[in-house]
Structure 1
Amino acid sequence: MKRVVLTGLLMLAGAALAQKNPDTLTVLTSADWSGFDPAYCYDTACGDIIQNTTETLFFPDGANPGRFVPLLAAEIPTVANGGISRDGRTYTIKLRPNLKFSDGTPLTAEDVEYSFERMMVYSADTGAAGLINLPLLGSPELVRKGGKIGYAQIDRAVEARDRNTVVFTLPKAFTPFISVLAFSTFSVVSKNAAIKGGDWSGTARDWERFNNLDNTEAKFRRTGLLGSGPFVIERYDEGKTVVLRRNTNYWRAPAKLARVIIQNVPDDTTRIQMLRTGDADMVHRNSIPEAQLPNVQSIPGIKVTNSPSLAMTVFNMNVKINGTGSNVLGSGRLDGRGIPANFFSDKNLRKAFAYAFDYNTYIREVLRGNAIQPSGVMIRGMPGYNASDPKYKYDPALAERYFKAAWGGRVWQNGFVLPVYWNTGNTRRQRALELLKRNVEALNPKFRIDVREVPFSQYSTLQADHRMSMNVAGWQLDYADPYNMAEAWLIPDGYYGRSTQYNNPRIAALVEQGVGESDTNKRLSLYRQAHRLAFDDVAMIPIYQLNDIYIQRDYVKGRIINPIFSQDYYYPISK
């Protein structure tokens, strides 16, 4: 962590602090990094680095979440220009001429093919492969050795037709495919550099060796892969700092900044002090809790911007907990000293927790009113959202009734010890669990909740391994379509479906039917049915949908504020 040093500058009241290091941007975050290999990245911390050191075929168009511009691609494919077949199953994408990686070597369609096939080959538990597997392989299921989807399907899905043309073949039409291709970790990396570094060969010969390879064994976890982005990784102090250096071989005009320093500063007070003294220029989105905003807004020269988010935060409940090698289950029984592995498989128990949380108090006191309470996967800002949908409410009497019904009365009679989890630096999640703990334990002296802190670098791994019983989790839409939120939580092979192991076949069938429906009204009707059924079944417990908060010094220019962005893009930024 960078030391906080008071500058000693004499400042007039209300005067802004003079900026330091005009060609270097110092950014603060409240989470560390799990690594920089795109195959393993599905969170904002790693995505921030990958988005700035590698590039995608398409990119969000300014502040508009549903529109895109070509980046590595030469144009947006359409049926009219021949880029999309009339049945919607074939996308032919031309690359810009003279693209090159940061080492000066050319970027070609062969690199595009390798990058997407590598993502599907790896199919890492913590990565975003399910997001691209769905349109390209017909299922969000991760590819596994001996599974129903193998290398032959991966190899057919993406082909380099020539040096500057790549063809994607889909098993069925998938309308938001361009949006998926713009997701930050579906970036293009150098095939030659990867193979020389000991990575997958790009053939069937060794694909199984890299399939679901553990993150600790990934060769490019600390360094990232060779990309074509406006910056390169200059230094990584694990868990503390990432330094990005301007790419001098960039195929476009060079970035305005020479360096970007991203520091992990878990303590809220320290982050605010660094903004105050000018030792930091900006913080990542939502990295300052609402309770601290008055302290930030009182700093001369600070700019605070609010923008509606396309994200939801929930309590996740794991219905089949993996207690191997951890103390998550305690005794493993409903005897007052632990919980069974299938503790949350009881719908009455899920309902009890849903009615034991005080949503209004949390939003008012912790988030300072800077959020709304969602009712489920059809969130505000997306087609199909209805503000009058029913929501869970804080009702201790109703919570008690459901606790007494859970597990045939044994939960209420015997009690439990339940560990719940939040990640270091995220005080919003900590406060939510502490409020839940207070309310639940007040119902019965035999109820005990153990609030546990976990470094973010371990959080995703524990979640993917099913080793957390209940945790706070968030989902930022990858693309502006209701399917993306529904698939994440309501499909067994979706991102959170894989970790919570929640499976309601009726709900999953509706969601899957919706993605293949071309009629917009019919499609939204299917999603709304799934949304309501998931509410009744308590698939998850929605807590809040924030307004995003962006904080920076007023001399920072060019920051893009887009609700689809879960990280910052430093290329257009200057001081």
Structure 2
Amino acid sequence: MKKPLLLLGLTAALMSCGGQNDKNTDTLLTMTFGDWSRFDPAYCYDSACGEIVQNTLQTLLFYDGESPDKYVPMLAAEVPTTDNGGISADGLTYTLKLNSEARFSDGKPVTAEDVEYSIERMMVYSTDIGPAMLLTEPLLGKAEPVRVKDNNFTFQQIDQSVEAVDDQTVVFHLAKPFAPFLGVLATYPSAIYQKADAVSKGDWDGTETTWKDFNNLAEGSGKLDQGPVGSAAFTIEKYDVGKNVVLKRSEKYWQEAPNLQRVIIQSVGDESTRIQMLKSGDADMALPNAMTPVALPQLEQMDNLSVEKTSGLSLTALFMNEKINAQGTNHLGSGKLDGNGIPANFFSDVNVRKGFATTMDYGAYIQEVTLNLSQRVGTILIEGMPGYSADLPAYSEDPEASAAFFKKAWGGQVWEKGFKLPVFYNSGNTGRQRSLDILRTTLQKINPRFRLEVRELPFSQLLSQASANQMTVWAGAWGADYADPHNFAQPFLQSTGNYGAQIGYKNAQLDQQITEAVATTDLNRRAELYQQIARQGYEDVPFIPLGQPLNTYVQNKMVQGRLKNPMFAGDYYATISKVE
């Protein structure tokens, strides 16, 4: 009965927006299989909410077509360089003039004060699940969230890092040279929104007097969860939790108006239903990678569809938490090494991690799960990044080595007593589910007392539990925020990074190397440093790299203008149109 119910809900959504999808070239319907958490940029650090932010707010710079590391001005009047005086000779000061025509969706001009507020608010909030560290690292000097209780940064540091010189000029004062800073400014975590709107809703007023009240607010505490006022081509018209998001064309958009009047992003968990909707024309397209590799051959045979595959700057991996927070979950079972659970620090023994890494059947993952739409990589240096080399090490399936590691783990207790362990994937992601199934099967072959339970969680819950250190092992992926190896080294391997913090991993020497590498301007030296970092990450194995996937795009042939930039969070709808 699932398919009729989903289709009924879809039809109702379409009718409420002005007509059936196949008869309305002004409305685009695209599909995903997950849900959304919130649309406040301070809390958004995943592709689901990121896509909404990307289409309702704008950044100072934007990507040049499908290039991942070349930029064009968006809210800025031009891209800053050393030649035009936008970047100081020492790389510490970036000056940007705003486009005087830029307007918010309510018609008010975008000012340098709005830019200063948006960037500073991200750092002031510094939420556990947000992307503030993309900004604190270059502007405050450390890749860690602002924590009032720890007094790790002062308000003066935040306030002085971004300066509105006049209505049309904003200056960024970096704490250290940061090679990929332009890339940071072009990403959705650097999106600009209206200060007056936020303050009117009871949000931070931009002053030192109140900033502490808004630092690291828990989920559900934000004032802008339904999205702030932005300057992009679309606004959020409707959000049905867990079902769909409807975007409406902004009537006061200051640039060339998009062809689409509305975009409906529908959550459809069942892939067979997604296939049928694409076949029948009830859906126009699916979000990038929303259709699994197993479905692609069938979709390629459909006359009304086009299927494209492009290289992507992303890495799929299995994450192992070394300091599991058991509060509020039953993930640890007995909490002991007695065969019926695991202790909270189970993965702190490197032999456990290496045992898992040498158990995984990577060939089966590449061939059977991704249908060869992924290539094997063994470190954070993926192909397309400076420093990448095919000679970098990678773990392989090796039952003898795996058994040897497990026999050394925890003084032999792991091998003798075994363990029972739940592992997780986000609902609807059958590829991640199957990767964990492979791991479960191979572990059983190594030792029948090694028992995994593969469980699903809604994406929002998985993210929430990961940020609270409650996850055990989970399948996930990282897409580059900007095209630089630092954007993989820092989140994966630095102790304050996104995954480093979630899995309790810390290597002080590696932390220092990563800090040195991002401040280095010599390209050869940077490549050398990142190779060293990648090799140390391989030795410590805090996570298990599975592969570097291709990005896949499935759409009706009447859909035109879809940009396929590997930096995008989902799709960018301002360029898309539908033709009969």
Bin the TM-score by the shorter chain: over 0.9
Aligned Cα RMSD in Å? 1.4
Where do 1:169-568 residues align within 5 Å? 169-221=173-225, 223-568=226-571
Q: How far apart, CA to CA, are the structure 1 residues paired with 2:435 and 2:235?
A: 37
Aligned to 1:216, what secondary structure does the other structure show?
Answer: coil
How many correspondences in the alignment? 564
Aligned mates of 1:243, 1:404 — CA distance in 2: 54
Which residue is equivalent to 2:15?
Answer: none
1:336-365 Cα shifts (integer Å, max 9, x gaps): 111111100001110000011100011111
What is the aligned partner in structure 1 of residue 18 from structure 2? none
Whole-Å separation in 1 of the counterparts to 2:501 and 2:429? 23
Contact 2:63 2:71 in 1 (8 A): yes
SS in 1 for 2:495: coil
The corresponding residue for 1:12 is: none
> Secondary structure in 2 aligned to 1:134?
helix
User: Following TM superposition, by how much is the alpha carbon of 1:5 offset from its aligned partner in structure 2, in angstroms?
Assistant: 11
Paired residue for 2:158?
154
Which amino acid counterpart does residue 114 of structure 1 have in structure 2?
Y
**How far has the Cα of 1:388 moved from its partner?**
2.5
Structure 1 stretch 388-397 or stretch 478-487: which is displaced more?
A: 388-397
2: distance between equivalents of 1:148 and 1:539?
26
What is the rounded CA distance, in whole Å, between the counterparts of 1:513 and 1:111 in structure 2?
Answer: 32
Which position in structure 2 is the counterpart of 1:15? none
Letter in 1 for 2:172: F
Task: Please give the alpha-carbon distance, in whole angstroms, between the structure 2 residues aligned to 1:444 and 1:137.
Answer: 49
2:89 — aligned with what?
A: 86
Q: Which amino acid aligns with 2:47?
A: T
| Contiguous gaps of at least 5 residues in structure 2 | 12-20
1:118-149 Cα distance to aligned partner (Å, 9 max, x none): 00000011111011110000011100013221
SS at match of 2:415: helix
Cα shift readout 1:7-44 (whole Å, capped 9, x = no counterpart)? 9xxxxxxxxxx943111000001111011000011110
Tell me, yes or no, if structure 1 residue 138 matches structure 2 residue 141: yes
Aligned residue in 2 for 1:167: 171
- Find the aligned partners of 2:157 and 2:544 in 1 and give their Cα distance: 37
Displacement over 6 Å in runs of 4+: 4-7
CA contact (8 A) 2:177 2:520 kept: no
Contact 1:6–1:277 (8 Å) recurs in 2:
no
Q: Is the 8 Å Cα contact of residues 4 and 279 (structure 1) preserved in structure 2?
A: no
Amino acid across the alignment from 2:155: Y
Per-residue CA deviation, residues 77-122 of structure 1 (Å, 9 max, x unaligned), is 1111111111110111100013211111221110000000000000
Between the aligned partners of 1:215 and 1:255, the Cα distance in structure 2 is 33
- 8 Å CA contact 2:493–2:500 kept in 1: the answer is yes
Q: Which amino acid aligns with 1:212?
A: N
Distance 1:97 1:165 in 2: 10
Aligned partner of residue 228 in structure 2, secondary structure: coil
Contact in 2 for aligned 1:4/1:274 (Cα 8 Å): no
- Whole-Å Cα distance in 2 between the matches of residues 446 and 60 of structure 1? 51
TM-score by length of structure 1 reads: 0.96
Paired with 1:194 and 1:563, the residues of 2 have a C-alpha distance of: 31
Matched-pair contact (CA < 8 Å) for 1:319–1:341: yes
Aligned 8 A contact 1:332 1:340 in 2: yes
Other structure's SS at 1:205 match: coil
> Is contact 1:4-1:273 (8 Å) kept?
no
Q: Give a deviation string over 1:384-427, Cα, whole Å, max 9, x none.
A: 11113221111122111111111010001111111111001111
Any stretches of 5+ residues in structure 1 without a counterpart? 8-17
TM-score by length of 2: 0.95
Q: Given that residues 5 and 277 in structure 1 are in contact (C-alpha distance below 8 angstroms), is that contact kept between their aligned partners in structure 2? A: no
Which letter maps to 1:570? Y
Secondary structure (helix, strand or coil) at the match of 1:69 reads strand
**1:61 and 1:145, CA in 2 relative to 1: closer, same or farther beyond 3 A?**
same
Calculate percent identity across the aligned residue pairs.
49
| SS of corresponding position for 1:232 | strand
Q: Tell me the distance in 1 between the aligned counterparts of 2:165 and 2:420.
A: 58
Contact 1:490 1:507 (8 Å CA) reproduced = yes
Question: Following the alignment from structure 1 to structure 2, what is the Cα–Cα distance between the partners of residues 2 and 197?
Answer: 35
